[in-house]
Amino acid sequence: MDKICINGGKELQGQVTVSGAKNACLALMPLTILASEPIKMTNVPRLSDINTMKQLLISLGSIIREDLFKGSLHLHTPKISSHDAAYDIVRKMRASILVLGPLLAREGRARVSLPGGCAIGARPVDLHLFGLEKLGATLDLKDGYIRARASSRLRGNTIEFPFISVGATENLIMAATLAKGTTVLKNSAKEPEIIDLCNCINSMGGKIEGMGSSEIVIEGVDNLKGTQHEVLGDRIEMGTFMLAPAMAGGQVIVKGCPPTYLTAFTRKLSETGISVETGENEITVTRKNDTLKPINVVTEPFPGFPTDLQAQMMALTCLAKGKSTLEEKIFENRFMHAPELIRMGARIEVQGGIASVTGVDSMKGAPVMATDLRASVSLILAGLASKGETVVSRVYHLDRGYENIERKLATCGAQIERVV
């Protein structure tokens, strides 16, 4: 199994460009099965989660051609050949649930295994099911599968989510796009990846308004046509790379995503005393030899501080002077990186959903184990700032969401390599 070895303590200098957003792509790909015409996506990241989604769509009847060199995917589903999203594929990735809405809208039936994914909490799918029922679907759960049927076309409705869910908002948008009449989604998620999804749907002939706000209005259309769409840049990858010079020292320019998608994160990073300069599509992060100030972070749905950057920010607070707190409000079990950071010398106490971090002067390299996607990258960041060698094992978690991270960091001067 691959490992990442880091010889820490080297200042970073350089620039990196983030890849296309994994989370945007994982919704855009299932969207393509709503249309029988081909769709071309560019700026698609090369990640194992994208491969899993490809595998799933192919099992449903999609024909997918990949241009590895250009990072583009051509997806074409002239006919759905199976309505079954099998356990073997779905268990690898929770986002597989996003085929449920499109299959149901196009075909009036679907059978989708209950999903797996990162071990960061229970992560139920009740909101997806609640919304689809409101659009007229009949659902039952049997043998670990969701069986969904609609006797005729789905019908538009007003749906108010009891709390915010990114995936449920996406599934409902896709299902409502081919429903009869108008759907109003209240208390929707506002993530940039949802705006990207809606922009793509509108370029296919869909009629969506209000994306990026908490109320999204979808006027159903009879069908969608093919299109070409460039996936937006990955804001979580951008935030992760911003933390690399913040931890190790030096200056890195991170390009490829509008900084406005990271405002809450950037504000917290600046509070630590790190210099952050934003341009139109890039951010420059500089750390001289300054002392880091402690911060208090609370994760929230967009535009709040993203849960997907909590583990990485925790790595930085381990080196601040004083006590920081990180409160995780989205997932109940998302502090699995804490025991590994402690092995590298950090002082962290976790009680319920709050981690209290007392900064230390320095951390030391150690063998550590990745437990989920964002936890794995927090260990790499800690390794960049630690004395001696850090070896991160179980990096298959990392490969779900970061394309070539070791190469991108190495171009900035990090001593990092993958050992196969």
How far apart CA 90 and CA 103 sit, in angstroms, is 15
Out of 330, 384, 405, 412, the only residue in the binding site for ligand UD1 (CB under 6 A) is: 330
User: What are the C-alpha distances in Å from 359 to residues 288, 325, 338, 351, 418?
Assistant: 18, 11, 13, 17, 29
Out of 95, 252, 253, 338, the only residue in the binding site for ligand UD1 (CB under 6 A) is: 95
Instruction: Let me know: does 240 contact 18? Beta carbons within 8 Å.
Output: no
The residues that bridge with 418 in the sheet, in sequence order, are 4
Instruction: Let me know: does 402 contact 239? Beta carbons within 8 Å.
Output: no
Give yes or no: 198 in active site: no
Max alpha carbon distance in the chain (Å)? 66
Nearer to ligand UD1 among residue 338 and residue 385 (C-beta): 338
Instruction: Let me know: does 285 contact 275? Beta carbons within 8 Å.
Output: yes
Q: Which two tokens stand for residue 116?
A: 């797996």
Q: Which two tokens stand for residue 196?
A: 């990207």
Question: Which window, 74-82, 126-134, 144-152, 195-203, contacts ligand UD1 (CB under 6 A)?
Answer: 126-134
Under rule CB under 6 A, which residues in 146-185 are in contact with ligand UD1? 165-168
Cβ of residue 97: shortest distance to ligand UD1, in angstroms? 8
Nearer to ligand UD1 among residue 94 and residue 287 (C-beta): 94
Q: Give the alpha-carbon dihedral of 9, 11, 17, 23, to 10 degrees.
A: 30
Nearer to ligand UD1 among residue 275 and residue 333 (C-beta): 333
Residue 349 interacts with ligand UD1 (CB under 6 A)?
A: no
The residue annotated as part of the active site, out of 5, 25, 118, 257, is 118
Instruction: Let me know: does 343 contact 386? Beta carbons within 8 Å.
Output: no
User: What are the C-alpha distances in Å from 286 to residues 247, 250, 283?
Assistant: 10, 6, 10
Residue closest to ligand UD1 (Cβ): 167
Out of 109, 123, 180, 418, the only residue in the binding site for ligand UD1 (CB under 6 A) is: 123
Cβ of residue 124: shortest distance to ligand UD1, in angstroms? 4
Under rule CB under 6 A, which residues in 65-84 are in contact with ligand UD1? none
Out of 63, 88, 119, 126, the only residue in the binding site for ligand UD1 (CB under 6 A) is: 126
Residues that bind ligand UD1 (CB under 6 A): 23, 26, 94-95, 121, 123-128, 165-168, 307-308, 330-331
Show which residues are catalytic: 118
